[in-house]
Each structure stands twice: as C-alpha cells, then as structure tokens.
Amino acid sequence: MGDQKHPLQPGDAAPAFALAAANFDGTVSFADLSGRPFLIGFFRGLHCPFCRRQVEQLAGIQPTLRASGVETVAVINTPVERARLYFRHRPTPVTLLCDPDCHTHRAYGVPRAEFLPDGSSKQPEWPYSATVAQFQAARINPTGELPEPVQPMEANTILNAKDRFELDEADMAIFANHASQLVGHFLVDANGTVAWTQIEALGGPNSLCIFPNAAEIVAAANDLGH
C-alpha cells in the first residue's frame, strides 16, 4: 500500500483542512465547520459521472441533514477555476470544495489503487494495488443506466456522452493523474471525531462507483444523536 494510510474509522480525530470553494468565493476550513456535525464526501474530479451523480444525491438530502443539524460538504479532485465554471451552470446547495492534488483525500485515508507493472512479483492488495488485468476484468452498472455491466472506463465514456459532458484540458490532466482515486464518505460529529465511514469498492473492482444511498446517509446522521 506504499505511503497510503488506512481510512479513518469511527473514533478517530478528523484532520484539519482549508480548501477553495467552487460554488462561492473564498475558502472553507475545518475550523469553519467545527462545533457542529458534518458529512464530507471525497470524490474524483468532474470527469467521473458517478461522482457528479453522487453530489446531486447529496444535494437532494441536504435539507434533511440540515434539519438534523448536519452540514453537507463535497470535496472534488478538480481545479477550482474549472469547478466554478461547471457549477455556475449547474448550481448545488452543497458546500463544494476543490482539492486537485487529493491532499485531503490522503489525510482521511481514502485509498487510490496503484497498478502493478506487468511481470511484478508483488501480489495485488486491493484497494491499494491492482493488476491491469484485474481492473480490465471489472464490470459495473451501479446506477442501472447502462443496458448491461461494462468495464469502468467504458461506463465513464458512455455516461459522459449521455450527459453531454466533454472533458476539457483540466479534466484530462486530473484524469491522467488521479483516475484510480477512490471515493470516501465520512460523518464527523460536533467534537471533530469521525462517527461513520464508507469507502468505495472495498469488496473489489466490481463494486466501483457504488456509493452510500440517501437512506444510509440519513440513518448514519440520525445515529449521531444516540
């Protein structure tokens, strides 16, 4: 697993951060959120159609979470200028932050898969390392939008075309450097302690792009009060 740390678990202290916001001017820091619970999701960049859909889902449940006193934050692996342009046309009520280098993803221990070179004697250790063949063999259809499960990169291509989403230069650079970044959701309580964690695809590449649904997130938020 190289220099990667394990994902934060309930009871761990949540790390501080300060990131540029995409849907308003300025930055948001951990200190700005302290004193009240918040849900924070760490996503791939805008090039990932499944991540865009999950941000939309978070927007849909934000009123329910806010009624429970829980703020909603999404961190995307996209440069702020690109993200601001995109979300100017597709506004979201979720606090949307940008981390093109995935520093906060790393701090919270969200894994990224590294591909072992051909002929490597190392055994793959998913979700931290995988063979290209292992990844190529994966078939996914997590949202049910595809006629049948397809290879993850093909799924991205099909859904981006469906969405009429064209990757620009910034998107392509992020995709080239961070395509194998996984997604993580964390619920942090008012004391700054992780209360709930959900990491994408721990079961293997066939479970890529399956994220917690609205009911699971709301249930985790409701458990904060118990």
Distance CA 100, CA 80 (A): 8
Mean pLDDT, the chain, rounded, equals 95
Residue 123 is given by DSSP the state P
Per-residue pLDDT at 225? 67
Q: Mind listing the domains of the chain with CATH numbers?
A: 18-223 (3.40.30.10)
Reported as a single tens digit per residue, the pLDDT across 3-50 is 788 999 999 999 999 999 999 999 999 999 989 999 999 999 999 999
Question: In the chain, where does DSSP find H-type helix?
Answer: 30-33, 49-67, 80-89, 103-107, 132-136, 152-163, 169-178, 214-223
For range 140-168, the mean pLDDT? 97
Q: Are 14 and 109 in contact (CB under 8 A)?
A: no
Per-residue pLDDT at 1? 52
Omega within 30 of 0 (cis) for the link into 63:
no
Reported as a single tens digit per residue, the pLDDT across 162-172 is 999 999 999 99
Per-residue pLDDT at 226? 57
Q: Side chain identity at 36, as an amino acid letter?
A: R
pLDDT at residue 186 is higher than 70: yes
Q: What is the pTM of this model?
A: 0.95
Reported as a single tens digit per residue, the pLDDT across 86-141 is 999 999 999 999 999 999 999 999 999 999 998 888 999 999 999 999 999 999 99
Q: Which two tokens stand for residue 130?
A: 């995988």
pLDDT at residue 221 is higher than 80: yes
Q: Which helix (H) or strand (E) holds 124?
A: none
